[in-house]
Amino acid sequence: MAVNLKAPEVLYPVKGVRLGAAEAAIKKAGRKDLLVIELAPGSRVAGVFTRNAFCAAPVLLCRERLAAGSEIRALLVNAGNANAATGEGGLSDARATAAAVAKTLGCGAGAVLPFSTGVIGQRLPVERMSAAIPKAAAALSADGWQDAARAIMTTDTLPKGATRRVRTGQGEVTVTGIAKGVGMICPDMATMLAFVGTDARLTPAATRACLRDAVAQSFNCVTVDGDTSTNDSCVLFATAQVGGAEVDERHPDYPAVAGAVAEVCRELAHAVVRDGEGATKFIAIEVGGARSEAEARRVAYAVAHSPLVKTAMFASDANWGRIVMAIGKAGVEGLDPRGVGVALDAVPLIERGEPHPDYREELGAAVVAKPEFAIRIGLGRGAARATVWTCDFSYEYVKINAEYRT
């Protein structure tokens, strides 16, 4: 049911990155559900992770290893099991599977970052994963991005990937990324799982800055259902295979590389929302006239998270009363309804806090019947603005989540 989304036709190889997937029967047999990503020596790796207090064991281990400044040579990703709320046993499982990758690839145990997604509260099948890791390593290929995108899926209906090539003063740079969603999506750092690689020679500090800025305008601007996952992780790895000069934030090549990373992250973030569980509508919530970006974002999320708004959008019901309700509950101090305006695309609903004199129900209904549209809100308080992308709530969303463990 993905909204105007297709599986990526082309994902350009990134010099210094090889990917291989294998079957480990983590949740169900008969599909590739384990991924190994090998990075060239000298790669620079940055990550952002969930702030959920019940963050998963792999998140804890990744934070620890990145904070220690360890050289990262590989990533291990599994689907079907989140390894979250599993205590010390879960940490032991994450270390054991990462160590199995290290042994297979011939690198240090601390050079492997593990990632998991799937059901919370269950231990990893370490033996099955360890047996599958050599098979994934045997499949390592620079052209493995498509298989990788499929291997990390859970309830996604389509694999998600994005790719760019840009010219720089030191040569052509490639940026390619993959991501998975699709429910429990309301990032507070990054989202779900996303892995983005570039062959640019970014410095470690520039790699971190590039990821931070890209996430701020992409993954931190989407929501499916308002629930922040225990496993959200977004990683950028720069393999330093293009050019001889280090690219820091002041280098003339940096804007082109950072721009490509931001574009890839934005495309992936949109893909996650377009393939939200049961989604039939892709909705931009655009808020302007705020006193700060934080205020604008608060209002946008209040609308995007409202089950009443989301179910009305699924029904193609232009029930603008639910939209103004959500604006009013956002907690904006001193908000004067007389300054508020609301439109659906170019169709005005509310002007100065009252129904627009030209509004007719059939005009609004025509907008919300489309698979993509915008809810545009003006607060009349300032010049700041923000946009959040979300989807509707359908019968299928309830069915998927009611049957998630069956």
Q: Mind telling me the catalytic residues? A: 191
Nearest to 176 by CA among 165, 191, 187, 190: 165
Q: Strands 160-168 and 171-180, how do they pair?
A: antiparallel
Spatial contact of 183 and 228, defined as CB atoms under 8 Å apart: no
Q: How far apart are CA 358 and CA 12, in angstroms?
A: 50
